[in-house]
Amino acid sequence: MKITGHFLSPTRQAEILPFETASRSIVGFACDYPAGLSSGMHSHPRAQLLYATSGVMRVDTQDTSYLVPPTTALFLPANVEHAISMDGPVAMRALFMREEVAARVANVTKVIAISGLLRELILAVCAETVEWELEGRGYYLTELTLDEIARAEPLPLGLQLPSDARLLRVVMGLLKRPHDRSNLEEWSDVASASSRTLARLFRAETGMSFRQWRQQARLTAALSALSTGGSPARAAAIAGFDSVPAFGAAFRGLFGITPGQARRRYFGSRDE
């Protein structure tokens, strides 16, 4: 493990080392983390699939912020620097993959949808020993897991992060408070830059306008709320929408499904 940030204790490093160096193609790592824990920037020599059976993770790479609610997972190629923050208590179940098998499923960082089958496979792999039997259950579990990861639906839950420190202050504020309705002129005080400069930086560094970036951040936060059981009305409020129908139209425009459908798909609720 390579560490460039502020927090990963020697104990946690020692816990992860056997999974980073295992001889098997895939090994599962299970650990529960308290609310508010942040790993700081670090990387692993193996690819990972980061998944949580409960709780929401935010994973920041050098240039993108990913929200990872339950029933989604984040695939990270080997050696990608990232920091994980726990939004509430998180029950993490991660897979470490050797290079040759990781190449079979992806070569870029992405969020994927977790089907019921893939969830159970991840849990089963995590229940296996690090040196599972090559001709036993572990082999068949990992082969099916790889196939399911490769088939999984990618989700638009990544937000481009800027390198400019002034703009970064703005986008981090938006991520923490997606309901904030401050306009670009008001954010200029936080950034110590004019609204015109911020508008130019948004386009240059994220490929989006301020309104477009904020809208995606809001809808991503809303999906997180829906996936943990929040109602469409609650998700709309979190995302800063006064009108639930307007929220529904914007949500469907980004994700291709309604908030009610997302709640049923990701949380298993039958209520609209």
Instruction: Tell me what percent of the residues of the chain surpass a pLDDT of 90.
Output: 72
Q: Can you give the pLDDT at residue 1?
A: 66
- 79 and 3 in contact (C-beta within 8 Å)? no
Q: What is the mean pLDDT of residues 205-229?
A: 91
Q: How far is CA 48 from the centre of its chain?
A: 12
Domains of the chain: 2-155 (2.60.120.10), 162-267 (1.10.10.60)
6 pLDDT band (50/70/90 cuts)? Answer: very low
Question: Does 71 or 207 have the greater pLDDT score?
Answer: 207
- 100 and 67 in contact (C-beta within 8 Å)? no
- 134 and 233 in contact (C-beta within 8 Å)? no
Q: Can you give the pLDDT at residue 101?
A: 94
Q: Write the pLDDT tens digit of every residue in 82-113.
A: 999 998 889 999 999 999 999 999 999 999 98
- 195 and 184 in contact (C-beta within 8 Å)? yes
Question: Does 14 or 148 have the greater pLDDT score?
Answer: 148
CA angle 47, 113, 126 (to 5 degrees): 50
Q: Write the pLDDT tens digit of every residue in 170-181.
A: 999 999 999 999
Q: Can you give the pLDDT at residue 269?
A: 47
The tokens describing 78, both together, are 């080997």
Question: Does 268 or 36 have the greater pLDDT score?
Answer: 36
Q: Can you give the pLDDT at residue 272?
A: 39
Q: Can you give the pLDDT at residue 55?
A: 86
- 239 and 218 in contact (C-beta within 8 Å)? yes
